[in-house]
Amino acid sequence: MKTAQITLYNTLTRRLEAFVPLVDGEVRIYCCGPTVYNYPHIGNMRTYVFEDLLVRTLRYAGYKVTHVMNITDVGHLVSDADEGEDKMLVAARREGKNSYEIADFYTKVFFDHATKLNIRRPDIVCKATEHVAQMIALVQRLEERGYAYASGGNIYFDVSKLPDYGKLARLDLDQLRAGARIEVDEHKRNPLDFALWFTKSKFEAQEMKWHSPWGEGYPGWHLECSAMAQTYLGDTLDIHCGGIDHVAVHHTNEIAQSERATGRPFVRYWLHAGFLVLGKDKMAKSSGEFLTLDRVTERGIDPLSFRLFCMTGSYRNELSWSWEALEGAANTLRRLKSQVAQWRLDATNTNHPCTPLSLRAGELKSAFEDEIYNDLNFANALAVLHQTAQDTALSPAEKLNLFSLYDEVFGLGVESWQAVQEDIPETI
Ligand code: AMP
Ligand code: ZN
């Protein structure tokens, strides 16, 4: 099948680039999954909506996509820079459960929220705790190649051996070496070095432990994504995604480990979602109060309104959260649903056949595709959807056809929008 040309913004080059996968017609994509120690907030879900829109766009464009996502169920410490306790352990103490029970519960919650947002399950979902052998093998390769050292009972990655460390985030290494970015762990030779494996660590209470050549312990957080991406997708990935907060530490360290272990480029296109923000602050799980999808549904708002809301701005920009903005998206969704319902009635009444696309419908389809292929410009693609709804030259059947087509990517559930409207109170 012929694939369409897509332009994507690559964080590595800071440029819009024509997307060319390593193997013609195929895309191998890895997305950092949730750390399952708490409810996902709607900021997290914004990133997963973006990734779902990306994968749907690639498939719509004719690519065979293999989408891998990890579940972080061990090793992510309270600070991204190897400080504090394992987040799983903190949650286990908070809730009086063990770390595995915590992981199990919040993994289910995550997929429940994802399903409510019509986010398709990745082809491969892999848990960190089930890939510790691959992580140990990766550390051994780094040791053999001289990029890892033991200190204070832990194994660290030696950043000083990498002239291009920090290329993704364009880090100013001199400034960071002075300790500006992170608190200094006394065992590190260099403040930018990061833990690959903890053994006799400062967190004696760690529950999840494995045997390793360096003693009983557990992996550093960054290691899991390098190991699992390599296991399922090979040495070089076409696309790697995550939220913008991962650029400076997590993805920077993934690149360092993967490229030094394999000697090959790790990722061809890095894509990052901007933050969902509340006023000036990013929404964060660690900051106490945060909004989850449950708060949205409790107010009687269709969760797909949040999906629609995410499409109203560029995925790369910050998106400002407000209940008013969400209500606006909910109203739009209601209006679209009732229009579609009416077209279904009209198309049935006039017994309109599903004919091939007319010239006008073809123009709208092309306009829609141009927008989604242009670095996922969903705000403009939605404008094409609204134009379609208002176009007086199109028959109801044609509008339905176009809406179904767009919805392969929008994922708003158009097929389920029927003539009977549940939202209308009986009294009306
Ligand atoms: P975590 O579960 O904390 O590992 O985060 C899961 C995903 O959500 C990662 O890709 C993060 O980069 C992303 N993320 C975290 N906070 C936000 C936010 N406020 N807005 C958008 N994405 C976020
Ligand atoms: Zn990751």
Residue 143's Cβ-side half-sphere holds a number of Cα atoms within 13 Å equal to 16
pLDDT number for residue 173: 82
From 21-25, 217-221, 380-384, 417-421, the region with the lowest mean pLDDT:
417-421
Distance from the Cα of residue 44 to its chain's centroid: 8
pLDDT number for residue 83: 75
| 72-131: pLDDT as tens digits | 998 788 877 777 788 888 898 899 999 999 999 999 999 999 999 999 999 999 999 999
Which atom of ligand 1 lies closest to the CA of 319?
20
Ligand 1 contact, 46 CB (< 6 A): yes
Q: Tell me the residue type at 288.
A: G
* Residue 210 confidence (pLDDT) above 70: yes
| DSSP 8-state code for residue 415 | G
From 21-30, 49-58, 140-149, 278-287, the region with the lowest mean pLDDT:
278-287
**In contact, 114 and 223? CB cutoff 8 Å:** no
| 40-76: pLDDT as tens digits | 999 999 999 999 999 999 999 999 999 999 999 987 8
Ligand 1 contact, 246 CB (< 6 A): yes
| 317-340: pLDDT as tens digits | 999 999 999 999 999 999 999 999
Q: What is the pTM of this model?
A: 0.94
Ligand 1 contact, 252 CB (< 6 A): no
Which atom of ligand 1 lies closest to the CA of 245?
12
* Residues, CB within 5 angstroms of ligand 2 (ion): 32, 225
Distance from the Cα of residue 133 to its chain's centroid: 25
Residue whose CA lies nearest to ligand 1 atom number 5: 34
Average pLDDT of 205-221? 89
pLDDT number for residue 428: 39
Cα angle: 399, vertex 405, 410; to 5 degrees: 105
Residue of higher predicted confidence among 216 and 185: 216
- Cα distances from 303 to residues 44, 50, 297, 340, in angstroms, run 14, 15, 6, 19
Which of 31, 44, 51 most suits a substitution to test ligand 1, by most atoms within 8 Å of the C-beta?
44
Which atom of ligand 1 lies closest to the CA of 282?
19
The residues near 180 (Cβ < 8 Å, ≥ 6 apart) are: none
Among 234, 42, 200, residue whose Cα is nearest residue 124? 234
Average pLDDT of 341-364? 82
Q: How far is the CA of 225 from the centre of ligand 2 (A)?
A: 5
| 392-426: pLDDT as tens digits | 999 999 999 999 999 999 999 999 998 654 554 55
